[in-house]
A and B are shown apart, each in its own frame.
Chain A
Amino acid sequence: MKLPVYLGLLHEAERILARSFRVVADGHGDEPDFHVILGTLAGQCDRHVEALEPVIVRFGSEVEGEEEHRVTADGVEEVRTGALGLLLDLQDLSVLVHHLDVMWTMVGQAAAGSRDRELLDIVVRCAPDADLQSRWLQTRMKQAAPQVLLVAS
């Protein structure tokens, strides 16, 4: 059974995303809305990490050997500078969010297949946040893109 691998990756990916949101929030602190909203989104990830604890205790999380194959393993560790850097950093965040969104979907499928009520409840509670995070990034990036790509220096 490989579900523990996915649970472990999911657990870790949420931590990476939380950290990445905070790195971007702090690194682009001059964008007044970032600090607040990215902090909120990071808090959502913290809660997901917490929510996963009981099933990880139950199933375990075997991620050894999977690490090196992952394109999303490191997250955002430092921010770029300038307006273009901001857009690219947001784009990196959306990759991470999308990765998680898919991962929640897969875990949700497994939960449905196994009729595991506890896991299903966790998925129902947490998965919509990834969609929301993705929509916020889209909303913000779509607004920023023309200014960054056409007129910013």
Chain B
Amino acid sequence: MVDRIADIWGTRTPYARGERWPVRVDQTLAPGVAEGDVDRWVQSACVLCSNGCGCDIAVKDGRMVGIRGRQADIVNHGRLGPKGLFGSWQGVDTGDRLTRPLIRVDGELVETDWDTAMNRIVERSRHLLHTKGPLSHGFYTTGQLFLEEYYALGIIGKAGVGTPHMDGNTRLCTATAATAMKESFGSDGQPGSYVDIDECDAMFLFGHNMAETQTVLWMRVLDRLAGPNPPRLVCVDPRETPVARAAEVHLAVRPGTNLALMNGLIRELFVNGWIDDAYIAAHTLDVDRLRATVERWTPEAVAETCGVGADDVRRAAEIFGTSERILSTVLQGFYQSAQATASSCQVNNLHLLRGMLGKEGSGILQMNGQPTAQNNRECGADGDLPGFRNWENPQHVQELADLWDVDPDTIPHWAPPTHVMQIFRYVELGSIEFLWISATNPAVSMPQLERIRRILDTEGLFLVVQDLYLTEAARYADVVLPCAAWGEKTGTFTNVNHTVHLSDKAVEPPGEARSDLDVFLDYSRRMDFRTRSGAPLLDWTGPEDGFRAWQECTRGRPCDYTGISYERLRGGSGIPWPCNDENPDGTVRLYGDGVFPTDPDYCESYGHDLLTGAATGPVLYRATVQPGKAWLKSEDYRPPHEEPSEEYPLRYTTGRTVYQFHTRTKTGRSRALNRAAPGAWVEVSPADAEQLGIVEGDMVAVLSRRGHLEVPVRVGDLREGTVFAPFHYGYWDDGGSEGSASAHHAANELTMTEWDPVSKQPVFKNAAVRIEKVRDGAGPSPAPTTAASRPARAGHRAAGRTTGSGGGPGTVPATVGGPEGEATERFPDTAPPRVASSEERP
């Protein structure tokens, strides 16, 4: 048994470059359940981060009682992370699930039956469509549903209701990944693969605390680092994360200055000739503009702006310039920061300049935040058209109209689908009066929460929320629909490196809860949405019908699913798309041939100006594109719009901790996970703590122009002048809503309503704040000691008052799981799985 709360990444299985990652099978079973007691194992994949680990769910007497990694799966080779082990079935098999629909009666939510709840929705929906038209409707979904559910929602919104106001919380986590790929390559679609970790000799992690956000992927890196010829690591992060500690070069940039650093790294490639001129000429456009854009960003200029060492910039650039196989990963440190798209495009540009793309060990992983974010992007339940189609291309709209047998004019395509921040603005202004939220919790996860709460409470808004639990957002709803969770329904989903998994239904949902798919299909039936020939718009009887319909939608598109079926997904490993007649085993890496989907008739987007988000438009795009070549998009650095001032002298940034996910709807209900990170905190550097006269555990107020928090302090290792708060903590489990029963502690009380002009992803990672001490602490803060939030290493008089000793990190008890945090590890003597493709070397 291993305590996988204390030992997040488990036992090392070192391996060398070019070998395959060894198998390790991780498993937990409910207390008192032995392996022999399990009735059956049901195939699935984990939904507690974007990694997409294949797993099997143990079922006994109709209940989920355990989980085990699938050793044959190409993603995880048998492993699972702490959230998967302790928060998957444990996070949904609880006593407080929603089991009956709720409707608002005299201001209170009361239980009702499905007929009454759905009729209430349909009545309001019909009335508004009749009196105000489709623009009165908005749909805000998630990164947690299954592919079939998104596609149903996409069809309902676009071909049934006909509204452009559809988005997902993927806007908050992964919009910039998709946008950066559209801008650089012409379409969404991940160039790299996890298997590149096995092959690379350098890794760059840009704003990506992989050790906590994708623990299993980090295990793969740790095992390379523990083996012969480990990859050289470069980390860009203002905090001293586990990634930073393992890195050869750690660039602890000031929040909000990523683009200055990226421009400096690109400049070093040019200046030192670390570029592949032949590749650039054959496969890219606009190199001269890129060169001009970065010209002023000498290492010294970068050092000045970003607060890092000029020599560290040179060392990082040299590693990029001279390594033979480089894998880059990018996540929220870039996506949720200022100039998000421009910074992320520069990562693409680094690889394009060196021609290091789509080859063994050389690739890019523009990461996702959520398990099924990719499907939302593919299926068009967010700000995209299904199958990576281009809303500005009439032929693409016609294809969808033909698939769905509707008039092309029904499908909104006069402007891009409306992003969620704008949807909420329309709600605020009263022009959207019907908002349907599925499986997401904006009352905690969106920026500037005081404003979001006010909007959800808008007079005249009809709010539908479907979820597992009565979330903070559901408390504002007029109708609440209880839905089935992971393990209680069947469907497919796709991870960061476009590997598709099937998740089979293991048990029945509690009470009257239904799958999200059944809810959407029911709404479509009751609304009587029909095709041009009079047939029901959605005549699917279950998820597999939806999958088949989706296959047709993807035929010939970059995300081609036509060679994948439920049958093929059962039994073995997940399969990476495109999988079709040409690539029957799927495709591991994209763009190995240097041909990019920029052809104007094929591309997903005609692109944007990175400074303003102004659309390029079809005319200018067609006049300038050279089909097949990638765009070297660039933009100069500009300071963030809110910088520290005398009144608010500190830079505030937010993020995840390893034990929690999102707004803790599942992980907060897992005893093992929640005990490891039970409450909110704020991290302050030793120097700032000293200056503020605060020590570990002291209660402080953190104030921005938009709100305040009252949380205990963790004195930790992050750059001076920067403070960090985890964004998971809301109000559902502290006896009140939005802080009425306790002090504010949701990180987004402080964040700004500002977004990247291109990806429209909110800027969660930069705000100006000040800190004031409220009272002495009674003990250390609840922040975990195991990862980025661990106490500062030295030089700090932590908790001296309470312990009476000299204090120091040793006074904060180590985070452990105890018996509830135990899992088994097995090391079967078996060959690691090979990726399901002929690209793999034998």
B-contacting residues of A (Cβ < 8 Å)? 31-33, 36-37, 39-41, 83, 132-133, 135-136, 138-139, 142-143, 146-147, 150-153
Q: Which chain B residues numbered 207 to 234 have a C-beta less than 8 Å away from chain A? A: none
**Interface residues as binary, B124-144 with A (CB distance below 8 Å gives 1, 0 otherwise):** 000000001101100000000
Tell me which of B184-192, B497-505, B739-747, B752-760 binds A: B752-760
Contact B425 A150 (CB under 8 A): no
13 examples of A-B residue contacts, CB within 8 angstroms: A31-B425, A32-B753, A32-B754, A32-B755, A37-B757, A40-B638, A133-B612, A135-B609, A135-B614, A135-B617, A139-B613, A139-B615, A151-B133
Q: Which of B133, B135, B136, B614 contacts A136 (CB 8 A)?
A: B614
B755 touches A151 (CB 8 A): no
Q: A83-B431, A142-B415, A147-B135 are in contact. Are A136 and B612 (CB under 8 A)?
A: yes
B422 nearest CB neighbor, chain A only: A143
In the complex, which residues of chain B have a beta carbon less than 8 angstroms from the beta carbon of A133?
612
Q: Write the B418-458 contact mask toward A (1 if CB under 8 angstroms, else 0).
A: 10011001100111000000000000000000000000000
Q: Are B414 and A142 in contact (CB under 8 A)?
A: yes
Across the A-B interface, the 6 shortest Cβ-Cβ residue pairs: A135-B614, A136-B614, A143-B415, A32-B753, A136-B612, A151-B431
**Using a CB–CB distance below 8 Å, which chain B residues touch chain A?**
132-133, 135-136, 414-416, 418, 421-422, 425-426, 429-431, 609, 611-617, 638, 641, 753-755, 757
Give A32 to B756 CA distance when docked, in angstroms.
11
Extra pairs beyond A36-B641, A136-B609 (18, CB < 8 Å): A32-B755, A33-B757, A36-B757, A37-B612, A41-B612, A132-B612, A132-B614, A135-B609, A136-B612, A138-B614, A138-B615, A142-B415, A143-B418, A147-B426, A150-B133, A151-B136, A152-B431, A153-B431
| Distance between Cα atoms of A37 and B415 in the complex (Å) | 19
| A146 near B135: Cβ-Cβ < 8 Å | yes
Which residues of chain A are near B426, meaning CB under 8 Å? 147
Residue contact B754 to A40, C-beta cutoff 8 Å = no
B interface: dominant SS: loop
Which residues of A lie under 8 Å from residue B414 when comparing CB positions? 142, 146
Secondary structure dominating the interface of A: helix
Q: Which residues of A contact B418 (CB under 8 A)?
A: 143
Could you tell me the distance between the alpha carbons of A152 and B433 in the complex, rounded to whole angstroms? 11
- CB-CB under 8 A from B754, the residues of chain A are 32-33, 36
**Interchain CB contact under 8 A, A37 and B431:** no
Residues of the A chain whose Cβ atoms lie less than 8 Å from the Cβ of B614:
132, 135-136, 138-139
A77 to B417, CA, bound (A): 33
Minimum Cβ distance to chain A for residue B336 (Å):
16
**Bound: A152/B427 CA distance, A:** 10
The answer to whether A135 and B615 have CB atoms under 8 Å apart is yes
Docked complex Cα distance between A135 and B135 (Å)? 24
Q: Which residue of A lies closest to B132 (CB)?
A: A151
The A-B contact count (CB < 8 A) is 67
Residue of A nearest to B763 (CB): A36
In the assembled complex, the Cα of A37 lies from the Cα of B641 at a distance in Å of 10
Q: Which of the residues A142, A151, A153 comes within 8 Å of B135, measured between beta carbons?
A: A151
Of all chain B residues, which has the CB nearest A82? B429
| Cα separation A139 to B605 with both chains bound (whole Å) | 14
In angstroms, how far is the closest chain B Cβ from the Cβ of A80? 15
Residues of B within 8 A of A40 (CB): 611-612, 638
| Bound form: Cα–Cα A31–B421 in Å | 10
Q: State the CA gap A133–B614 with chains docked (Å).
A: 8
Q: Which residue of A lies closest to B428 (CB)?
A: A30
A136 to B611 Cα, complex, angstroms: 10
Shortest distance between the CB of A119 and any CB in chain B (Å): 21
Minimal beta-carbon separation of A151 from chain B (angstroms): 5
With A37-B757, A136-B614 as known contacts, state yes or no: A152 contacts B609, CB within 8 Å: no
Q: How far is the CB of A40 from chain B (nearest CB, A)?
A: 7
A143 to B412 CA separation, bound complex (whole angstroms): 11
Interface centre among B415, B421, B613, B754, by most chain A C-beta atoms within 10 angstroms, is B415
Q: Chain A contacts of B422 at CB under 8 A? A: 143
| Closest-CB distance, A85 to chain B (whole angstroms) | 12
Q: In the complex, what residue of chain A is closest to B136 when comparing beta carbons?
A: A151
Residue of B nearest to A143 (CB): B415
The distance in angstroms between the C-alpha atoms of A36 and B133, with both chains bound, is: 31
How far is B239's CA from A128's CA once the two chains are assembled, in angstroms? 40
Please tell me if the beta carbons of A33 and B429 are within 8 angstroms of each other in the complex. Answer: no
For A36, the chain B residues whose CB sits under 8 A away are 641, 754, 757
Q: Choose among B415, B612, B617, B638 the residue with the greatest number of A CB atoms under 10 Å from its CB.
A: B612
Give Cα A32–Cα B419 distance, bound, in whole angstroms. 13
Taking the nearest CB of chain B, how far is it from the CB of A37, in angstroms? 5
Question: Which chain A residues border B755 with CB–CB below 8 Å?
Answer: 32-33
Complex Cα–Cα for A88 and B414 (A): 19
Interface centre among A37, A41, A83, A139 (most CB of B within 10 A): A139
A33 CA / B641 CA spacing, docked (Å): 12
| B431 contacts across to A, CB distance below 8 A | 83, 147, 151-153
B425 touches A32 (CB 8 A): yes
Please determine whether A143 and B416 come into contact, CB atoms closer than 8 angstroms: yes
In the complex, the chain A residue whose C-beta lies closest to that of B641 is A36
Query: Which residues from B are CB-within-8-Å of A135?
Result: 609, 612, 614-617
Which of chain B's residues has its CB closest to A149's CB? Answer: B135
Chain B residues with CB under 8 Å of A138's CB are 614-615
Q: B613 contacts A37, CB within 8 Å?
A: yes
* List of A residues within 8 angstroms of B641 by Cβ: 36, 39
B392 to chain A, nearest CB (A): 11
In whole Å, how far is B822's beta carbon from the nearest beta carbon of chain A?
47
CA distance A136 to B615 in the complex (A): 7
**Nearest CB of chain B from residue A79's CB, rounded to whole Å:** 16
Chain A residues lying within 8 Å of B430, measured Cβ to Cβ, are 152-153
Give chain B nearest CB distance to A38 CB in angstroms. 10
What residue in chain A is nearest B131 (Cβ atoms)? Answer: A151
Instruction: Report Cα–Cα, A40/B611, bound state, in Å.
Output: 9
Shortest B728–chain A CB gap in Å is 24
Closest approach, in angstroms, between the C-beta of B410 and any C-beta of chain A? 14
Within 8 Å CB of B757, what residues of A?
33, 36-37
Which residues of B sit under 8 angstroms from A153, Cβ to Cβ? 430-431
Closest residue of chain B to A136, judged by CB? B614
Contact A152 B753 (CB under 8 A): no
Cβ contacts under 8 Å, B612 to chain A? 37, 40-41, 132-133, 135-136
CB distance from B294 to the nearest CB of A (A): 18
A143 cross-chain contacts in B, Cβ below 8 A: 415-416, 418, 422
Report the separation of the CA atoms of residues A98 and B177 in the bound assembly, to the nearest whole angstrom: 34
In the complex, the chain A residue whose C-beta lies closest to that of B416 is A143
Residues of B with C-beta under 8 A to A142: 414-415
Distance to closest chain A CB from B44 (angstroms) = 39
